[in-house]
Structure 1
């Protein structure tokens, strides 16, 4: 089992620990901390060490969440008892060996051991453009294979959604309740703070489904209702309300977040010069019927916007990805900004570059939460950046399991005003008890003696 790693607050280096036979946690050799006794420590001590720190970071002036594939796998495991469907390679016949070889080189340059379907699709699309320029007869064959491959790829994403949607009622409800609690820990920002910015590298609509259940309004670049269209103009649209009896002083509407899907989405299609979002049902069996709607013209699965380049920056320089990554950089590269990653393996160098630039600002902070580190990229990036005081880490099943994380370590939603009122009342009563007449007389005597 992958070791648990914690580094928060005044921990000067990552602490490695594992669960002992006595159901307590014990540090591994070479790790030591002042807040841990030699006999070991419990989940309660971990919570007391972690939760207040995360609570303070979550109330930074600017807060962003970057969700990777680990979030989808975590929710799918809660609902169906297994991980979500993976991204298998496509069975191409045209220049298959050369495409696979180029995909492996691309993956190695990105620090990944083997290429995935994204590398394969990117290389195949580059080859298709070359064959079309050469007017080669194989171009038509490769284009047909890519259309079928993209549809298979989209159906694998929908299969993961369906695995959650069709799970037994009790397990599905628990999974979505955990997801809602997770999102609300971030989205419940007080009115004087900037809106939460949510970024994801996932193609599925899990975050959208969770936000819908939580009543969170997501603001993205799409405008319209029937078939929303992607707009490059980034107007800082927001939602406000007028309190009863007060005019001219609108206040922030609670439960609103900005949302950006960095790698596109299974329901985004290119229609001519525009990017539109189609009404694809959550967990649908196939995407094909939804592409036959009037107004989409001759759109095929090859026009789905779910294959940006995750190894080099050529694709991200093209529309619409340049707009999406500009949103990421402008959101996190600001003073007093906190970025929290969950289930992100640090396998995308173009995102890592933005994170490194963010940490050059002394008042920024990075919180890494991950169930494991399969690519070893998290610890490598931590060492390469060289700013340990600006990085916190919660890695391992004892910390980053979604249910455990939401129950023990993430802060309670700040939108709960009753909690604030109760804490203020306790402070007032506690201060009153300390200022009893007897204590006041003693203080007066002490003051007379000093005179």
Structure 2
């Protein structure tokens, strides 16, 4: 069954536990709604709420619930693009993400294993734009979100999943020696607020969809139109608006599956409950790869048992959790990953 590790306040001890996997593994991260706290509340039981409403034949009510969920996330998007100072909760979340991608970038840069690519992949089920905005504030960090920006003549960049296989190199002007530059892939299986459809294609769209008024929310046609403007996988089982959305969803899940089937694949999960049945099922199946390793950071002591129950048949799963009364929040996760850096540099 899944192994559990109760950690102390000593981040260096935890770093020694996970450093070997980071040093020698194909590195992946899986983050969920818990990572975007406190700016955005967790998804909670919205999936069950929507499913129950739909099964009861209350599609209009389910759609309005979904609109409220999207608009709460859209509010943070508008704050991110504004020129005013960020509210305290948004500023905290933004700084957490900024630190996170900066640490990953440094880990990739200092890793001693020259056989592995200097590349890591972040799988995020969140619709929000924190990672993208955090990367834009750090020009030295290369984030590959799968959109082709080779032409600057349009702001509707086409989604090309093949770009996730690209690697970036820089050559010395004196000796022409090639050095790989760290790259972070960002894959969002549930879609993103900056995704839109253009004809039969998925494109990058920097324009936020205006929120609905109270009167518009009472109009089912307006609600349906609002939801159709977003390229989002709704958080309940098997809900797709069209074939393009379904195809994109399964293409991205296949990428997730393939990344975990690589030799020495490492997946670190944070803020993710594994309540998504598709992702849970794929994760379980890919753990048949004996060289793969799943490391879950449990937010609270009570969460440890829940994760262990989901992976009772897997020995290559480690649940890292705190003692009762202490939480592993995003700041603590970043502290642990930062403590890995000396292990990587001196390894």
Report TM bin, short chain.
Answer: 0.7 to 0.9
Q: Counterparts of 1:386-405 in structure 2 under 5 Å?
A: 386-387=314-315, 390-396=316-322, 398=326, 400-405=328-333
Q: Do the aligned residues in 1 keep the contact of 2:304 with 2:319 (CA within 8 Å)?
A: no
CA distance in 1, matches of 2:293, 2:191: 26
Give the structure, 1 or 2, with the largest relative contact order (CA under 8 Å, sep 6 or more): 2
Partner of 1:411: 338
Q: Do the aligned residues in 1 keep the contact of 2:193 with 2:230 (CA within 8 Å)?
A: yes
CA distance in 2, matches of 1:66, 1:198: 6
The answer as to 2:43 corresponding to 1:53 is: no
- For the aligned residue pairs, the C-alpha RMSD in angstroms reads 4.0
CA distance in 2, matches of 1:228, 1:334: 30
Q: Do the aligned residues in 1 keep the contact of 2:28 with 2:122 (CA within 8 Å)?
A: yes
* SS of equivalent residue, structure 2 residue 263: coil
Partner of 1:323: 251
- If the length of structure 1 is used for normalisation, what is the TM-score? 0.59
The counterpart of 1:264, out of the listed 170, 177, 191, is: 191
Segment drifting more, 265-274 vs 160-169: 160-169
Partner of 2:221: none
Segment drifting more, 336-345 vs 55-64: 55-64
The answer as to 2:145 corresponding to 1:179 is: no
Q: Kindly tell me: are residues 313 and 395 of structure 1, through their superposed partners in 2, closer, same or farther at Cα, counting changes over 3 Å?
A: farther
Partner of 1:116: 49
CA distance in 2, matches of 1:120, 1:252: 49
Larger radius of gyration: 1
CA distance in 2, matches of 1:413, 1:15: 17
C-alpha deviation, 1:60, in angstroms? 2.6
Segment drifting more, 150-159 vs 52-61: 150-159
C-alpha deviation, 1:342, in angstroms? 0.6
Q: Counterparts of 1:44-443 in structure 2 under 5 Å?
A: 44=10, 47-73=11-37, 75-76=38-39, 84=41, 115-117=48-50, 119=51, 151-161=67-77, 173-188=91-106, 189-190=108-109, 192=114, 193-194=116-117, 195-215=119-139, 216-224=141-149, 226-231=155-160, 233=162, 236-247=165-176, 249-254=177-182, 256-280=183-207, 286=211, 300-308=226-234, 310-312=236-238, 318-372=246-300, 377-383=306-312, 385-387=313-315, 390-396=316-322, 398=326, 400-407=328-335, 409-412=336-339, 414=341, 420=345
Q: Do the aligned residues in 2 keep the contact of 1:341 with 1:367 (CA within 8 Å)?
A: yes
- If the length of structure 2 is used for normalisation, what is the TM-score? 0.75
Partner of 2:219: none
CA distance in 1, matches of 2:71, 2:327: 32
Residues matched between the structures, number: 318
* SS of equivalent residue, structure 1 residue 340: strand
Partner of 1:30: none
Partner of 2:9: 43
Offset from partner CA, 1:291-333 (integer Å, 9 cap, x none): xxxxxxxx75423121346435988992211211111111111
